[in-house]
Every structure is written in structure tokens, then in C-alpha cells.
Amino acid sequence: MEHHPLKTLLQINNGEYAPMRHLSDLEQPRQQLPQAFRPNGAIYINDTASLIANNCFFIAPTKLYIMSHQDSIDIDTELDLQQAENILNHKES
């Protein structure tokens, strides 16, 4: 993860912002913060009944399949696609 989510500010009012958790998190080295993960959209596993009953993918307790940064590329632009193709070509050679 490029930026730790606990080093994020949320807008709470016009012109006012608050940290995700604690002000002190903003000054901590990211290595001292709890390890964090973000969904990359690659894999969602759920049973149909839970999905229909809850109308969402994320239901407690949630488990993770941790993927490398290289395997978790978001393809939103032409440049992202080129980067993904370069990585794929490098893996195949």
C-alpha cells in the first residue's frame, strides 16, 4: 500500500478535517502503525444466501487473501494497462 490509511484526513465540515483515527497517527512512522490492507476487487468469495440477505460482499467476520502490489494493479487508464502488460510480459519471460 503506497500510503497508510491512518495518515488520511476526512472532511468533517466545510474547511475542517479530522484524522481517520488519532492526530498522533499523522506523525507516526507508517512502520509503527497497525498493518493495513485495502480491497483490490480481484477476489470476492461469499455464499449466495449471505449476499442476498445482507446485500453486500463484506460481512463479519471477514478474511483476506493478501496479494502482492504487482498482482493488484488497478487498470483505470491506458498507462495502467501498459504497466499491467509490461508486468505480465516480464512474468512470462
pLDDT score, position 22? 96
Same domain, 32 and 53: no
What domain range is 78 assigned to?
A: 37-93
Same domain, 5 and 17: yes
pLDDT score, position 68? 86
Same domain, 12 and 46: no
pLDDT score, position 17? 96
Q: How many structural domains compose the chain?
A: 2
Same domain, 71 and 45: yes
Same domain, 78 and 58: yes
pLDDT score, position 1? 62
Same domain, 32 and 43: no
pLDDT by position in tens, the chain (length 93): 678 999 999 999 989 999 999 999 999 999 999 999 988 888 889 899 999 999 998 988 889 999 988 788 888 999 999 988 998 898 777
Same domain, 30 and 47: no
pLDDT score, position 21? 95
The torsion defined by the Cα of 26, 32, 35 and 38, in degrees rounded to 10, comes to 30
Same domain, 5 and 44: no
- Do the beta carbons of residue 20 and residue 8 sit within 8 Å? yes
DSSP E strand boundaries for 1-93: 9-13, 16-19
Same domain, 32 and 44: no
d(CA 51, CA 73): 26
- Do the beta carbons of residue 73 and residue 87 sit within 8 Å? yes
Q: Is 10 helix (H, G, I), strand (E, B) or coil?
A: strand
